[in-house]
Structure 1
Amino acid sequence: MLYKFKSKAGADVIMLQPHGDHALEVLGREPSAQGIFQASDLSALIQRGEAAIAEEQAAHERARAEAQAEGRKAPPAPEVSLRQRLWPLLELMRAAASSNTDVVWGV
């Protein structure tokens, strides 16, 4: 399954199911085949996504610092970070928020 996030405010954002499921969970939603982010909720959802990105980066930095303090090799960074995965969707959400339109998927 693919997730196709759509809004009148911008281009569609397509994600594979595991990545779309993760994005929805990060934004506080249950993964589902269809849904809507209402325009009135977008600013809070964007903040939630940005906070999750910041937390992932902070956790990686903490792990690197701990490894360095213990004289171990630092853990590798994820091949694709949450920032990279979520960025297109957050951009669509920002455009939708400024246009006061919804973001939908599966419809």
Structure 2
Amino acid sequence: MLITFHSKAAADVMMYKEHAKRILDLLNKDPDQGIITSAEAPKAVEILEFEIAESRLHPTSEAVKRDIEAHHGEQGDDTDHEEVEQVTFATRAYPLLDMLREARRGGFDVVWGVYPAA
């Protein structure tokens, strides 16, 4: 499922629900549908900026490293899969954070709903 965030402040931002849920949980918002008002935007920006900074302080966990290594050969080659590239929380959160900054600046709300993937 996809979530599409809308605001008059910026272009739409789309994310998989599973990725957006972590962000919306931090903001105490329902992942199915909701609104971040222009009055709530400054606090939402503050929360996301803090969480992004925190996520950058912690290296990849050993469990994730072991999982990646388990799927590759002894020399690190893997003829069955593409090279694994991790997408960080910061990378996933940035487009919404940018939208929230613009919404805060312009006094606009951010709204979302869930749409089935095409």
TM-score, L = length of structure 2:
0.71
- In structure 2, what is the equivalent of residue 22 of structure 1? 22
Q: Which has the higher contact order (CA 8 A, sep 6+)?
A: 2
TM-score, L = length of structure 1:
0.78
Moved beyond 2 Å, runs of 4+: 26-31
> Aligned Cα RMSD in Å?
2.2
Q: Please tell me the residue identity of whatever aligns with 1:53.
A: I
- In structure 1, what is the equivalent of residue 59 of structure 2? 60
Q: CA deviation at 1:25?
A: 1.5
The answer for unaligned runs of 5 or more in structure 2 is 69-84
- CA displacement 1:33-80 (0-9 Å, x = unmatched): 11000000101111100111111111228x7xxx9xxxxxxx59x701
Give the helix-richer structure, 1 or 2: 1
The answer for unaligned runs of 5 or more in structure 1 is 68-74
Taking the aligned partners of 2:56 and 2:27, their CA distance within structure 1 comes to 17
Count of aligned pairs between the two proteins: 94
